[in-house]
Chains A and B, each alone.
Chain A
Amino acid sequence: MSAERDTLLEVDGLVTRYRVPRGVLGAIARRPKETVHAVEGVSFTIATGQMVALVGESGCGKTSTAQTVARMVDSEGGAIRFRGREITQLSARSLRPLRREIQMIYQDPYESLDPRFTVRDTIEEPLLVHRIARGKEEREQKVREALVRAGLSPPELFIDRYPHELSGGQRQRVAIAASLVLDPKLLVADEPVSMLDVSVRAGILALLDGLRKEGMGILMITHDLSTAAHFADRIAVMYLGRIVEEGPAREVVRNPQHPYTRALITVVPKRDPREQTTPQILTGETPNPIRVPPGCRFHPRCPIAEPQCSEVDPSLQRPRDAATPDHRAACIITAPGPSADEVGPDGDGAPHG
């Protein structure tokens, strides 16, 4: 990790919403139009050579955030700046060069590879789409380099294979090679190891870690706090479309400040049978992003909620008990500060959305 790192990605007050189709009957019955508030004012930055993990339960908006950042889904508010350039409103045409620089890695390497394509075809395809590399020879050279970079070496061993001839870990490496061949600056990895066996997960994560050390920015989406704690530089915990806590990975898991993060930490099973903590199980189901509670969106399930929590929408502030200056939580009890209505959920600037 170099001391001076350039900001690669800046996300500021991002809002992503989906309309719920109400159907013909719903329209006749004049049922109100419903909206899924997937992402509601999310801000974070990623520097070169930095891995940021977005962590949370299903429906918290982590995948929507990733897809919006990669400009696969349109945002409804906020700004995304990539290498200093505003990309939020770019047209499909002007997005094209950007697609090279921001690459996605998906969860399921069994589905993300075309079974009729050899490894060579799979990795060559993006070169053809983006019209990079002149001629067959240069393409072949780039395909081989990408394979080696993804840890599939020597390339001769893999280049003519089909996906069904590869293990799950090897498939994920091929998918990563197909991203690397474009020489991206930012990788957005959505649960990159959750479909893989335990014994190969560490290898894929070490590969991502190596790319990070070479200067790649990585946004990793994961539900697994233990993985995030080990491999990410920073962790942002999401709940109902908001980042509720954000800070250095170690700090967030060892000194959690938001009551939601604290509860999450207690329910993660530990490896050592003697180190199990009593799980602090939150009552109620994972909440519904269509009907977001007023005030702090976590208050209906919060064990330390006070009356004003149903009124004040907290912004991200430095908690009283934080050990580092770059640790923030959105909780008026552990991290008192102005309401998000006054300063925006990320604690600085005007409200967004």
Chain B
Amino acid sequence: MSTRQPILRAEDLHVWFDLPGDSELHAVQGVSFELRPGERMGLVGESGCGKTTTILALMGLLPASASVAGRVHLEGEDILAKGEESVSPHRWKDIAMVFQGAMNAFNPVKTIGSQIAEPMELHGTATGRAARAQVRELLELVGISGERAERYPHEFSGGMRQRAAIALALACEPHVLLADEPTTALDVMVQAQILELLVRLTRDLGLAMILVTHDLPVVAQVCDRAAVMYAGEIVEMGQMTTIYHDPRHPYTRMLFAATPDLLGDEDVLSIPGAPPRLDHEIVGCPFTPRCDSAFAPCPTAHPRRLEVAPGHEALCHLNDHLVAERPA
């Protein structure tokens, strides 16, 4: 897997939102990562950390009040280079997204099938009878009987609407799927069904997936790798097992400690304080006021992004000694 070329590469991605009265919110602050075919990466963090903004930027779907900087290479091509002009040919065809709450966003007066056929006809990948045949295939792929294409959204249960939303995202056979909290409103049993489906799709179709969620155990179950976001930055990224067993950023460790585990015995510990506001420049490490390990450099110097082990990077002064030991 690691030998394959990345299919998606974000480089120093920034997003600012204009706020009323001449101020800006720096929602995404230099996010970089790579994603390989068939790989499942979790993008984890609390509300407001910039995870949804990041994937909306990858899709070129940010509102007009946002400005974007950085590069997003999709199969080698920089799709941010010329704004809408360079991203629109790829949107849905090469990179697609399942929006948060997508299962509730179907048009109630149109059949599920006709709504899944829409992007095919729009992008000219299939029309008429061919599109209808493809819709049935897609529905079967996500575990819904093809005959149900003629049914309306209200005739589907929540779990089935979510499957249909995934089928819709797959309509134009993308290579990268971005899924924003795809199981948040679902019961655990239905969640398990959807997660199993997502794993199967990446395995069978070689689809690369970014799973955006606040739920660490979901990432632990489904993803190979995880990127933990805080205050607009990826503060730690690596193999999921490494991040769990050897976290190199206190936020990652504290986030795990705040998550109850079904069979765990340890106390569940909240993280004091709240994330910083992103409408002014932050001096030092943004996690300092909440961190249980902060020391001298943290309030004043922004930490460097360091590779603490191959494929494992963190943004924390606790790892600074690694640089001191290494010849420059």
Residues of A within 8 A of B (CB): 57-58, 167, 169, 197-203, 205-206, 223-227, 229-231, 253-254, 263-265, 267-276, 279, 281-282, 285-286
Known: A229-B262, A267-B191, A270-B263. A199 touches B221 (CB 8 A): no
Q: Note all chain B residues with C-beta closer than 8 A to A285.
A: 157, 159-160, 190
The chain A residue sitting closest to B254, CB to CB, is A199
Q: Smallest CB–CB gap between A255 and chain B, Å?
A: 11
Stretch at the interface among B81-89, B212-220, B308-316, B317-325: B212-220
Known: A270-B217, A276-B221. A199 touches B261 (CB 8 A): no
Stretch at the interface among B5-13, B23-31, B118-126, B269-277: B269-277
The chain B residue sitting closest to A60, CB to CB, is B187
Known: A272-B244, A273-B220. A199 touches B255 (CB 8 A): yes
Q: Note all chain B residues with C-beta closer than 8 A to A273.
A: 220-221, 240-241, 244
State the CA gap A184–B269 with chains docked (Å). Answer: 27
Q: Smallest CB–CB gap between B163 and chain A, Å?
A: 12
Contact with A along B167-199 (1 / 0, CB 8 A): 000000000000000000001111111011000
Do A202 and B268 have beta carbons less than 8 Å apart? Answer: yes
State the CA gap A167–B259 with chains docked (Å). Answer: 19
Do B190 and A286 have beta carbons less than 8 Å apart? Answer: yes
* Residue count of chain B within 8 Å CB distance of chain A: 41
State the CA gap A273–B226 with chains docked (Å). Answer: 11
Which 5 A-B pairs rank lowest in CB-CB distance, beginning with the nearest?
Answer: A203-B270, A269-B217, A202-B270, A267-B192, A199-B271
State the CA gap A267–B255 with chains docked (Å). Answer: 21
Do A200 and B221 have beta carbons less than 8 Å apart? Answer: no
State the CA gap A119–B245 with chains docked (Å). Answer: 42
Q: Note all chain B residues with C-beta closer than 8 A to A199.
A: 46, 254-255, 258, 270-271
Do B220 and A167 have beta carbons less than 8 Å apart? Answer: no
Do A227 and B271 have beta carbons less than 8 Å apart? Answer: no
The chain B residue sitting closest to A274, CB to CB, is B241
Q: Note all chain B residues with C-beta closer than 8 A to A254.
A: 263
User: Which of B52-71 touch A at CB < 8 Å?
Assistant: none
Q: Note all chain B residues with C-beta closer than 8 A to A169.
A: 274
Do A198 and B258 have beta carbons less than 8 Å apart? Answer: yes
Q: Note all chain B residues with C-beta closer than 8 A to A269.
A: 195, 215, 217-218, 220-222
Q: Note all chain B residues with C-beta closer than 8 A to A281.
A: 189, 192-193, 196
Q: Smallest CB–CB gap between A80 and chain B, Å?
A: 27
The chain A residue sitting closest to B160, CB to CB, is A285
Q: Smallest CB–CB gap between A149 and chain B, Å?
A: 17
B47, CB-defined interface residue at 8 Å: yes
State the CA gap A271–B266 with chains docked (Å). Answer: 12
The chain B residue sitting closest to A285, CB to CB, is B157
Q: Note all chain A residues with C-beta closer than 8 A to B191.
A: 267
Do B189 and A282 have beta carbons less than 8 Å apart? Answer: yes
Known: A223-B188, A281-B192. A230 touches B263 (CB 8 A): no
Known: A227-B260, A270-B263, A286-B187. A279 touches B241 (CB 8 A): no
